[in-house]
A and B are shown apart, each in its own frame.
Chain A
Amino acid sequence: MTTFRIKRFNPEKQPDPYWEEIDYDIPDGATLLDCLNDIKWTMDGTLSYRMSCRSAICGSCGMKANGHALLACQRQAEHLIKEGTDSITIEPMGNMPVVKDLVVDMEPFWDKVNQVKPFLKEEGERPEKERRQSPAEFKLIDDASTCIMCGCCYSDCNTLEVDKNFLGPAALAKAQRFVQDSRDTATNERIRELSESGGIWDCTHCAECVERCPKPAKPMDRIKEMMGVAIEEGVTNNNGARHALSFVKSVKHSGRVNENTLPLESMGYFNVKGLMELVPVGLRMLLKGKIPPIIHKNIDDVEDVRRIFRELGE
């Protein structure tokens, strides 16, 4: 017998969510969704959640099990039993308001997908037949194309937990699918918009989205690819791009990161407000002797590292 600890909430009836514990015998090979269906159909018809295809294709049944978002139809319930216990904790996805029980309002999610203009921008006359892509061109957008919009990445995104302005992993993965589409003609315009506050450079690289993604879309990897596009397109007048450029420069020079110049160059030497922000932490570290040595030491055999940088185009 397994205890399903389910977070229940009906805003019409309760002021706050509450935990309900249901004891249930998991049939052999049953997915978490199979169990919830059985519970709903035979024990408690008021339990609410979204579901449809039962095959990890439609992306409807996103929810949290033991604190992490997943598709309920994609995991065997038995594998989710928390070690050392005989229970599974089930909650609605995070970063979105709860409508009822495990159903969340995905409006903020869709708003952000729409914000990245998820449609092809073409110029000139349409060809008579389709616009062709080479396999190599398609490969660039193949992974992002597998996104099923389940919201699992959005649910567990660490930046979104503290900044609702962030576009979030799914919308940014969708953006990459157009930024790097060989048929799209608005790359520069797109990457400029995506480099603003709430865009690619606000990703904190926690890889929660990669971990929760039930498909190969892996949003963080797509965000990294767009950072490369931004630098290639010369859209570098922001702290994120300046940080990447300064980082590469200092490792090329000494084989190591220069922690003294990196913050200054990330802010930009003419960004007085940004530089002032560094003063308190700089002073604190200075007083404790934590400031890295002013004379930045090279690694041994740095020449070889410089050679690799040069050979690979840096």
Chain B
Amino acid sequence: MSEILLDVQRLSHVFKLGKYAVIKAVDDVSFQMKKGEIFGLVGESGSGKSTVARCIMNVYKPAAGKILYNGIDVCDSRAFRKHRKMLESSRQIIFQDSTSSLNQRMTVEKIIAEPMSIHHIKPPRGSLRAEAEFQLSYVGMDSSYLDKYPTELSGGQRQRVAIARALSMEPELLVADEPVASLDVSIQAQIINLLRHCNEQHGCSILFIAHDLSMVEYLCNRVGVMYHGKLVEVAPTAALYANPQHPYTKALLSAIPVPDPIAERNRSHIDFDETAFDREGTMVEIAPGHWVLRKEDSQ
């Protein structure tokens, strides 16, 4: 289990804004994911968590740094070409907005079967339709949806179709970029249960990106906290929630709304002063597996 699936080393990515200005979306981020693990990445909007996901999926080419997937450097075009088939089929992504990530002009059947026909995989269950039906039943929808279009489905159903499409390749790594952000509470719970089931039954590793910290606490084994493109803290979930070290993590955790009126009214928030954020520093291990961004001389 302790085998490393994904190793992100000193990843940086910049976006150009006009002629001179650049924005450092991801700045020197390193973390590792073990096989069979659910790793959560949290942070506020604009902190670079989606950019990390897109770099991992080869959507963006990082400005600096390496991403090793099963030991293969996916950013190196020669290595990528050599292992292309494996890399393209064993890594899958689910996007936040299922309206724009599913083709409106394809039926659910075509959407789910598309990855298989692209990779010329012989459907193990006979036909592509049977395969689509199986994947659909796996995510809890019946075969009557096969001939429907995404516009005819509700948000939760569309997100299930997106998950079914990703799972049809039996991925080793599933990158879920805010998969539940736009859904209702009861539907969120269904999708979370589904992701957990995939992880437990199929050993599929999940990189779970979210800003809902209570979801992350429930689902993930380990969590990384990002702020302004920097990874500020990485720790096992229980350790992070019980003993946050970085001032930003503390502020973030204190802001989670708890569905408990009396406790919530008496709770005070820790405010994080943006100007006090220091980009310098290195990750220091303060407990086994618990890393914090810190200046060396401050401790």
Question: Are A and B genuine complex partners?
Answer: no
